[in-house]
Amino acid sequence: MIKRLLKKRRILEDQSGATLMEFGLVAAPFFLMLLGIMDLGYRGYVDTVSKSVLHKVARDASTGEMTVAEIEQAVTDGLDTLILKNASIDVTTQSYFDFTNIGKPEKLTTDVNGNGTVDPGDCFIDNNGNDIFDTDYGIAGTGG
């Protein structure tokens, strides 16, 4: 009986392997946090580089000297440095009269039923001349 109690006491007081156990408990959250920080850094890098390329191409295209094909090629070439696998790049060029109306819908002048959306019989100012109510009235292409 005394031998059994001494054996239990020795097992409870044994400290060998404690470091390994503590490392196992701390390592997983540490590496998860480390990988999360690295992923956030990579996302920030991709965001910065892609915006930089798009701003450069937009500045170059604003002179009117580039065709739509040249703009698409410049964007594609600039984003190739990111080496994004399985990424598709869709370039859309639009021209606006002024910067204040980018992303805004065409103005609704007569709303027959007062619901705020364009229904048959409602009138709107067709800024881009396509006879369709657009939520973003930029004109396709590089402008004139």
The three-point CA angle 33-39-44 to 5° equals: 130
| Residues 3, 12: Cα–Cα separation, whole Å | 14
DSSP 129: S
For the chain, residues with pLDDT lower than 70 are 1-3, 5-9, 11-12, 14, 116, 127-128, 141, 143-144
Question: Could you report the per-residue pLDDT of 102-123, keeping only the tens digit for each?
Answer: 777 777 777 777 776 777 777 7
> What per-residue confidence (pLDDT) applies to 5?
62
Domain borders along the chain are 21-84, 92-144
* Mean pLDDT of the residues in the chain: 80
Residues 6+ apart with CB under 8 A from 78: 53, 54, 56, 57
Q: b/e per residue, 60-90, with b = 16+ CB within 10 A?
A: ebeeeebeeeebbebbeebbeeeeeeeeeee
CA quadruple 139, 140, 143, 144: dihedral sign: negative
pLDDT score recorded for residue 71: 87
Q: Is the pTM of this model over 0.75?
A: no
Quick one: pLDDT at residue 32?
96
pLDDT at residue 132, rounded to an integer = 72
Q: Who's near 110: CB < 8 A, 6+ residues apart?
A: 122, 123
Contact 111, 122 (CB under 8 A): yes
| pLDDT score recorded for residue 2 | 67
pLDDT for the residue numbered 22: 86
pLDDT at position 24: 87
